[in-house]
Amino acid sequence: MCLDRRTPMNTDTNNYARILVCDDEAHIRQIIGRKLLGFGFHVAEARNGQEALAMLDSGPQAGFRPDLVITDLQMPMITGLELCQVLRRRSDTAHVPCLMLTARGYILSPDDLVQTNIRQVISKPFGVRQLLDRVVAILLEKSSALIPPTLNSPGEAARGPLAA
């Protein structure tokens, strides 16, 4: 199991968003995680939906409560769509928005979106700036306090640390 949880590089303690990155491709998890950490977010990683749910329920990461879930659609064990459906049904995660990563050309149905908290869909391959802008937009719907000052609006990601 991956169940990797890291704290931001640029601060010891903060109240910025906790983001769960769930993807079966290690390099994608690592790139996304590194970028988010560089901006001050707290990041936890899982290799599939099953690990993500385990992170919420038991094991060394028990009790991790994300403010946002970034998940791949196509993964083994439990897909990203199934993960988002479970999160929506659970009382402790029903409010958590999701950002779905999909293969190019894959379109989620309106029913899929209604049954989940998927707020944004990004097709692979994607740019890091595009991803960070979407993360900021989703988190701004919840609270600006979850976002580091360097990312106070979409578009700021291009000027922040580790910008691609």
The CB density around residue 146, as the number of other CB atoms within 10 Å, is 21
Measured CA to CA in angstroms, residue 75 lies from 29, 72, 100 at distances of 13, 7, 12
Q: For residue 119, what is the enclosing H or E element?
A: strand 118-124
CB 64 within 8 A of CB 44: yes
**The CATH homologous superfamily of the domain defined by 4-159:** Response regulator (3.40.50.2300)
Q: What is the average pLDDT across 57-80?
A: 82
DSSP states along 18-84: EEEEE-S-HHHHHHHHHHHHHTT-EEEEESSHHHHHHHHHSSTTTT---SEEEEESS-SSS-HHHHH
Mean pLDDT of the chain: 80
Rg (Cα) of the chain, in Å, rounded?
A: 14
pLDDT at residue 70, rounded to an integer: 96
pLDDT digits (tens, 9 = 90+) for 94-120: 999 999 998 877 778 888 888 899 999
pLDDT at residue 144, rounded to an integer: 67
Measured CA to CA in angstroms, residue 80 lies from 46, 117, 148 at distances of 11, 12, 27
The domain ranges of the chain are 4-159
pLDDT at residue 11, rounded to an integer: 42
